Structure 1
Amino acid sequence: MTDEGAGRAAPAGVTWPPHGAEVRPWASASRGPREDRMLREITVSLPPLIADLAYVPSAEEAADIERAAVDITRLDAVHGPVLSSFATFLLRTEAVASSRIERHDASLADLARATIGMKAGKDAQVTVAAARAVSRLVDAAGSAGVIELEDLLAAHRTLLKDDPLDGPTAGSLRTVQNWIGGSDWSPRGAVHVPPPPELVPGYMEDLIVFLGREDLPAVAQAAIAHAQFESIHPFTDGNGRIGRALIGAVWRRRGLAPTLVVPVASAMLADTGEYFSRVNAYRAGQVAQFVRYLATSASAAAREARISADNLSELPAAWRGEVRPRAGSAAAAILDRLLDHPVLDGDLARQVAGTSSAAAYEALHRLTEAGVLSQLSTSQRHGVWAATEVLGEIDDLTRRLREG
């Protein structure tokens, strides 16, 4: 990184430096409003370099961090090995919430269709892609024990490779100036103008070094890494979703959550105003605000996830009580795997049941009549069924966080 964008270290007595600023020339390339076309200069934000920056939590921060670490570890240790479907449920929950923060609000029915590979709306397709991106980044961090720039680029490629607008640049650092808020045509009135594109590679190198550190608590490391990533805003789109996936990747790499993804985005979705406010506070040097925010959000998400685990674990017995399937039947086989496969079409039902297509379809219709499944598509060739109680738990978890 050049000296011009090298950021700043914390001065004596200051725990974390605020972002710097620099005025840069701006030439409008759009036909937007006159105010945007007349804009001649912008003020870009220059985050501090954090690779070797010291972080010393206060007693209050340390207590919140420790509590969150215990809650995350307990959730993973207690429910991860016991309820095999829970990891998939939490991954799906995290992707839905993270996408909704970005205003991609797919209905659960449409999400089910996209999950099974059927035609669905853009919001549902984006959400399914977000789940794949989260999984890719978190799994890579767990298997390799490090988080590399290529892991972030690969997750971004997974997220946006099919996007008609951003697909060509998916998996690449931005080469243009971007901004958050304000006008659609220029950085006029923006809430945050990230560093210029030529400085992004250096900032990302610095962040990758920070992600490899072992000398600070994992919860705090994830919080700072996320806030710094959002400040750099290294991509033209998808920064929020990849940045939130980075939180889970840090916790996986540091061993807090070896099997599960804590749905912390659901806690953020419960009050997005507070979430964005805490990120902005980080840019002002108030690192403690965001660290404590993420710690308390993680504890709340883990608490509600434990409730979801209990709710999900009770469903199979309730379903069997409603259906009373014959042992060895297709209906019994589907019920046994329904938490793992809450969305089914005819082909998947046949594979799960290990029977003929006719027997699988008969079982699907029986489970629908019993209220266990809902048929989302009545197409003869592409019928889709879903266990709505499983998918509905995603919204229930978010609702409990909002009300709590």
Structure 2
Amino acid sequence: MRLSWDNVVRAPTVPASPTDRSRLSVVGKPYRAAVPAAIKRMQFNIMPDVAALADDARAAITRFDAELSAMFDGEFAPLSAVLLRTESASSSQIENITVSARALSLANVGLAKFGSNAKLVQANVEAMNRALELTGPLTPGLILAVHEALMHGQDQAEPGRFRNQQVWIGGTDYSPHSADFVPPLNSRVHDSIGDLCAFSERTDLPLLAQAAIAHAQFETIHPFNDGNGRAGRALIHVMLRNGGASTRTTVPVSAGLLSNIDAYYEALTVYRDGDPNPIIDQISRAAFLAVDNGQQLATDLRTIHDGWATNLRARRDAVAWRVLPFLLRQPSVTSKLVQETFNVTQPAADNALRQLQEAGAVSKPKTIHGEGQKRNVVWQATEVLDALDRFGERARRSSRTA
């Protein structure tokens, strides 16, 4: 399974100054680009303990899915959206795109600043939603759709298009000669992705092990100019959903990977050297950590919701009761958002927000400036935002103590 290599001779970008000796020194010298092994029929040497761990982790994901369904009954949908958002934020954080729960919640009501990290993470949420809405086998078209949603508006990434140039990881920005890893030539991407999709249809491997291998193979192919990591982690969830491990929830596996990012990247490197066991082990352990952290978040949100319900003084058919579970999913709201989401008038929306404020569900409204300095009055469910920040802190804490 070890990689083979293409020897390539290509000049780096011509330097702005002819005295740029570091660039001139590699002109005409060959570099090696990876040639991924075909895996659609490959037999993998998965250690028995690693296979057992992967099976146990898959079972934990399935139990988590069932437990949350029972815990939240008809209010399950908001929590599912919360978990999806935490997965997207964590996946972005692996690549040093960090955002607070408050900033992301404001982005969801159109109050993020132009070019902010919150907008990038919001795009990741959209990509994950789009991926999980698509059913059926993994295909090149689905992969392109995920990438298009993820990188929308970032022209340098050519959203929804496989790359047509060489990319590399590490080293300099003008030449692959000193890179840590050089993915395959762009001419090999299409066939390699086709092989990966064929591999995803196999049924002879433990599901989570198969998803981990597919993820590592995707990162080895590196089929896009940018966004490969986030797109590749989204595909783990596509495979878990297609394999029946989860039906309604998104277990925040990326939050689990935050426990040891260096080990995650090292496992990808070892996979390219021919050993799939470390990346299977890392994804499996990440799943266990994600389930534990997700269960704590679910418990926190259930407690918060029940406290609000106890304090809310409104008729059972009042708009406020309909907005209550929505605050778990979207803890920053405006009157306009309530009007549009629940198809009610402005007086009805304003009255619901007043009742929710009296119940302690939302804080006193604040005026926040969005893009173009437009003023917006926003109510925030601070208890939910605090719970989401605690979720992120637990992931970061495990990173420091791993």
Q: TM tier, shorter chain? A: 0.7 to 0.9
1:307 to 278, 292, 296: 296
2:254 to 243, 246, 265: 265
2:312·2:358 contact (CA, 8 Å) conserved in 1? no
Q: Sort the Cα spacing of 1:402 and 1:119 in 2 relative to 1 into closer, same or farther, 3 A.
A: closer
1:343·1:386 contact (CA, 8 Å) conserved in 2? yes
What's the CA shift string for 1:165-204, capped at 9, x where partnerless? 33xx211110000011111222242111101111111111
Would you say 1:231 and 2:225 are equivalent positions? Answer: no
Give the Cα–Cα distance (whole angstroms) in 2 for the partners of residues 336 and 312 of structure 1. Answer: 10
What does residue range 96-107 of structure 1 map to in structure 2 within 5 Å? 96-107=89-100
2:140·2:193 contact (CA, 8 Å) conserved in 1? yes
Give the Cα–Cα distance (whole angstroms) in 1 for the partners of residues 250 and 202 of structure 2. Answer: 21
Tell me the amino acid that sits aligned with residue 261 of structure 1: T
2:144 to 123, 142, 153: 153
Would you say 1:361 and 2:350 are equivalent positions? Answer: yes
Tell me the amino acid that sits aligned with residue 192 of structure 2: Y
Counterpart residue number, 1:394: 388
Shift of 1:46: 2.0
1:80·1:86 contact (CA, 8 Å) conserved in 2? no
What does residue range 266-281 of structure 1 map to in structure 2 within 5 Å? 266-281=255-270
What does residue range 5-404 of structure 1 map to in structure 2 within 5 Å? 17-31=1-15, 33-39=20-26, 40-80=29-69, 82=73, 83-122=76-115, 123-140=117-134, 143-144=135-136, 146-166=137-157, 169-325=158-314, 327-351=316-340, 355-365=344-354, 367-368=356-357, 371-374=360-363, 375=365, 377-378=367-368, 382-404=376-398
1:137·1:245 contact (CA, 8 Å) conserved in 2? yes
Shift of 1:391: 3.5
1:95·1:131 contact (CA, 8 Å) conserved in 2? yes
SS at 1:221 equivalent: helix
Shift of 1:19: 1.7
Aligned length: 383
Identity %: 32
SS at 2:7 equivalent: strand
Q: Sort the Cα spacing of 1:131 and 1:43 in 2 relative to 1 into closer, same or farther, 3 A.
A: same
Tell me the amino acid that sits aligned with residue 127 of structure 1: V
TM-score between the two structures when normalised by the length of structure 2? 0.88
What's the CA shift string for 1:371-398, capped at 9, x where partnerless? 5324464468532333233233333223
Tell me the amino acid that sits aligned with residue 305 of structure 1: G
1:230·1:240 contact (CA, 8 Å) conserved in 2? yes
1:267·1:402 contact (CA, 8 Å) conserved in 2? no
Tell me the amino acid that sits aligned with residue 118 of structure 1: L
2:7·2:33 contact (CA, 8 Å) conserved in 1? yes
Shift of 1:95: 0.7
Tell me the amino acid that sits aligned with residue 105 of structure 1: T
TM-score between the two structures when normalised by the length of structure 1? 0.88
Tell me the amino acid that sits aligned with residue 151 of structure 2: L
Give the Cα–Cα distance (whole angstroms) in 1 for the partners of residues 95 and 114 of structure 2. Answer: 16
SS at 1:191 equivalent: coil
Q: CA RMSD in A?
A: 2.3
2:100·2:389 contact (CA, 8 Å) conserved in 1? no
Give the Cα–Cα distance (whole angstroms) in 1 for the partners of residues 286 and 146 of structure 2. Answer: 24
Stretches of structure 1 lacking an aligned partner (at least 5 in a row): 1-16
2:156·2:225 contact (CA, 8 Å) conserved in 1? no
Q: Sort the Cα spacing of 1:376 and 1:283 in 2 relative to 1 into closer, same or farther, 3 A.
A: farther
